[in-house]
């Protein structure tokens, strides 16, 4: 099984150097874990649903979507798939170098791949 | 300024960029360079515009400020969609194109957007905001579901 405390610890490791939030959620937008500063206006479970919705819209026209980057006025959100069934997203401030954010996303995604694959198999 | 020519030059400057097209915030095509004429009304372009326009209300609900750029990396290609003034600049490139360059293209497209705004300003004179009587996909009403 995936231990929640360990998962939160792992997600929290990327929250440095301008990165202030990381989500793990499924493609339906249901949140598994969030670590980071809570936004006043939008709860983390709402953000995950919105990000999943954006992903689904972009994936609708081509099934081979690997990664998205949303550049907004107050920050950047990068998002990728983990183990084909889960999604990992990271929020960073606008000043953070995008290469660093993507590197964190890719290493976290690679680290989580095997544990999530194993629980996917358990569920399947 | 010849916008079509400027876009063609930009497209040739950035290796791997194969098309740039400009739409308004409702998805209507304004200008298109790179795609062959036979693909002008292709499903590809229409789906791309529609899928992007449907994401805008969700992105605004994240409460992280206005949309600037959406970048999507697919196995076979990459798409960058820059919101500039009241236009979307959609850049389509191959999978080996430099991602940073596609994002930085925004700076190069800004003068083009400004020129287009000066050629065709909104009737109320505000160069950045659509007239309040015309709701735009870029700024959904607060009660939008």
Is residue B17 within 8 A of residue B92, CB to CB? The reply is: yes
Range of the domain at B77: 15-119
Min Cα–Cα distance to chain B from A22, Å: 14
pLDDT digits (tens, 9 = 90+) for B33-62: 886 655 555 677 778 888 888 899 999 999
- pTM, two decimals, is 0.85
Whether B23 maps to a domain, the answer reads: yes
Nearest CB to A47: which of B48, B62, B68? Answer: B62
Q: Do the Cβ atoms of B66 and A99 come within 8 Å?
A: no
Q: Do the Cβ atoms of A99 and B67 come within 8 Å?
A: no
| CATH number of the CATH domain containing B51 | 3.30.450.30
pLDDT digits (tens, 9 = 90+) for A23-71: 999 999 999 999 998 877 889 999 999 999 999 999 887 778 999 999 9
Whether B67 maps to a domain, the answer reads: yes
Q: Report the CATH superfamily, name and number, of domain A4-123.
A: Dynein light chain 2a, cytoplasmic (3.30.450.30)
Whether B6 maps to a domain, the answer reads: no
ipTM for the assembly: 0.90
Would you kindly state where each structural domain of chain A is located, as residue ranges?
4-123
Q: Identify the burial level of B135 via C-beta atoms within 10 angstroms of its C-beta, where 0-12 means exposed, 13-18 middle and 19 or more buried.
A: middle
Whether B2 maps to a domain, the answer reads: no
Is residue B52 within 8 A of residue B90, CB to CB? The reply is: yes
Residues of B in contact with A42 (CB under 8 A): 61-63
Which residues have C-beta within 8 Å of that of residue A3, sequence separation ≥ 6? none
Say how many domains are in chain B. 1
Question: For residues A94 and B57, what is the distance between their CA atoms, to the nearest angstrom?
Answer: 21
Whether B104 maps to a domain, the answer reads: yes
Q: Do the Cβ atoms of A72 and B100 come within 8 Å?
A: no
pLDDT digits (tens, 9 = 90+) for B63-113: 999 999 999 999 988 999 999 988 999 999 998 899 999 999 999 999 999
């Amino acid at each position: 099984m995936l231990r929640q405390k360990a998962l939160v610890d792992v997600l929290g490791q990327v929250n440095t150097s301008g990165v202030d939030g990381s989500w793990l959620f499924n493609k339906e937008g249901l949140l598994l874990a969030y670590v980071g500063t809570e936004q006043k206006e939008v709860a983390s479970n709402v953000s995950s649903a919105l990000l999943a919705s954006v992903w689904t819209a972009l994936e609708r026209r081509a099934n081979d979507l690997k990664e998205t980057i949303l550049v907004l006025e107050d920050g950047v959100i990068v998002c990728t798939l983990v183990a084909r069934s889960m999604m990992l997203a990271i929020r960073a401030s606008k000043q953070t170098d995008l290469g660093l954010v993507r590197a964190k996303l890719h290493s976290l995604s690679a680290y989580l791949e095997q544990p999530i694959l194993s629980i996917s198999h358990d569920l399947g | 300024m010849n916008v079509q020519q400027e876009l063609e030059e930009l497209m040739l400057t950035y290796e791997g960029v194969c098309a740039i097209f400009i739409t308004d915030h409702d998805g209507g095509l304004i200008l298109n360079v790179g795609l062959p004429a036979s693909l002008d009304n292709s499903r590809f372009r229409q789906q791309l515009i529609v899928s992007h326009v449907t994401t805008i209300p969700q992105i605004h609900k994240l409460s992280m400020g206005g949309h600037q750029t959406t970048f999507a990396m697919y196995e076979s290609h990459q798409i960058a969609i820059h919101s500039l003034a009241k236009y979307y600049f959609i850049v389509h490139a191959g999978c080996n194109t430099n991602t940073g360059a596609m994002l930085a293209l925004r700076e190069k497209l800004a003068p083009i957007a400004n020129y287009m705004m000066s050629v065709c300003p909104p009737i109320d004179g505000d160069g950045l905001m659509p007239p309040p009587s015309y709701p735009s996909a870029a700024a959904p009403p607060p009660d939008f579901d």
